[in-house]
């Protein structure tokens, strides 16, 4: 509560966003990737693309998040391709994804009064493909894909947040980080004294996840874009 009070007395100068499940739904990317893999398999051995996609999607919906292609070929056979080949295709494909409703307009509105930054984990090519397809690169003053720093600096490391604040020429206490995953997104900002807001979308991958302890907990939780606007506005009242 003391940190929150101090932050509310400090003028907000920068707003930082996560990417996946914050600006768009990650499940859209997963579906897009599975369709790219399914299309590739169909074109090379004639299997029905829809069946392949449905099988991959059923594995994902069952709760599996690792080794999905291994599980697919183990269950359905016809493993003419290396797992690495499928993973590379999934990560490098040009995704069919869309911004959440109202996000583009909100970013444009915020850019008139604040410096905007993007801090996202993930492979460089994968995240850049998402950013380019969504057409949001021009909306941000600084974009930092943590893989550029090295895997050891993926969230919850404080390093990417410290670096982006330095780049934007603001102190952490003059910034807020908006993200979705309580398992890793908020610990770094919290350690720097930055305010953090969890956008807990019902269709998000981590909707049901809870922070491990107070160190991982966001300062505030909102459930839609309209509530997010209200929460952000509180900091310059």
Strands, E assignment, 20-84: none
DSSP state of 193: T
Beta bridge partners of 199: 222
Cβ atoms of residues 166 and 142 within 8 Å: no
pLDDT at 2: 40
Half-sphere exposure of 106 (CA within 13 A, CB side): 19
Q: Write out pLDDT tens, residues 145-189.
A: 999 999 999 999 999 999 999 999 999 999 999 999 999 999 999
pLDDT at 43: 84
SS3 state of residue 179: strand
Sheet holding 175-179, edge to edge: 142-145, 115-120, 14-17, 175-179, 195-199, 220-222
Cβ atoms of residues 79 and 121 within 8 Å: no
pLDDT at 81: 73
Q: Write out pLDDT tens, residues 9-60.
A: 568 999 999 999 999 999 999 999 999 999 998 887 767 899 999 999 999 9
Cβ atoms of residues 119 and 18 within 8 Å: yes
pLDDT at 182: 98
DSSP state of 100: P
For the domain bounded by 2-25+99-236, which CATH number is listed? Answer: 3.40.50.1000
SS3 state of residue 115: strand
Q: Kindly report the backbone phi and psi dihedral angles of residue 177, in degrees, each rounded to the nearest multiple of 5, phi listed first.
A: -110, 125
Give the Cα separation of 24 and 81 in Å (integer).
31
Cβ atoms of residues 125 and 91 within 8 Å: yes
Q: Write out pLDDT tens, residues 115-156.
A: 999 999 999 999 999 999 999 999 999 999 999 999 999 999
CB atoms closer than 10 angstroms to residue 227: 15
Cis amide prior to 156 (ω within 30 degrees): yes
CA nearest 200: which of 177, 180, 185, 220? 180
Give the Cα separation of 120 and 18 in Å (integer).
5
Cβ atoms of residues 113 and 5 within 8 Å: no
Cβ atoms of residues 184 and 161 within 8 Å: no
pTM reported for the whole predicted model = 0.93
Burial class (CB in 10 A: 0-12, 13-18, 19+), 137: exposed
């Amino acid at each position: 509560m003391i940190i929150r009070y101090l932050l509310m007395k400090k003028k907000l100068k920068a707003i930082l966003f996560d990417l996946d499940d914050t600006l768009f739904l990650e499940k859209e990317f997963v579906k897009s990737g599975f369709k790219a893999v399914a299309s590739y398999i169909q074109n090379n051995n004639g299997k029905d693309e829809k069946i392949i996609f449905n099988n991959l999607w059923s594995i994902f919906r069952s709760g599996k998040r690792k080794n999905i292609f291994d599980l697919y070929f183990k269950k359905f056979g016809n493993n003419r391709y290396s797992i690495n080949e499928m993973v590379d295709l999934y990560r490098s494909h040009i995704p069919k994804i869309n911004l959440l409703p109202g996000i583009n307009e909100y970013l444009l509105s915020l850019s008139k009064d604040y410096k905007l930054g993007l801090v996202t984990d993930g492979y460089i090519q994968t995240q850049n493909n998402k950013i380019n397809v969504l057409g949001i690169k021009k909306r941000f003053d600084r974009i930092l894909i943590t893989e550029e720093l090295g895997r050891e600096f993926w969230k919850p490391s404080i390093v990417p947040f410290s670096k982006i604040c330095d780049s934007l020429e603001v102190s952490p206490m003059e910034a807020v980080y908006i993200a979705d995953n309580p398992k890793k997104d908020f610990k770094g900002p919290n350690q720097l004294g930055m305010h953090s807001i969890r956008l807990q979308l019902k269709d998000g991958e981590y909707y049901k996840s809870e922070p491990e302890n107070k160190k991982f907990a966001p300062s505030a939780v909102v459930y839609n874009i309209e509530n997010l606007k209200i929460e952000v506005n509180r900091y310059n009242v």
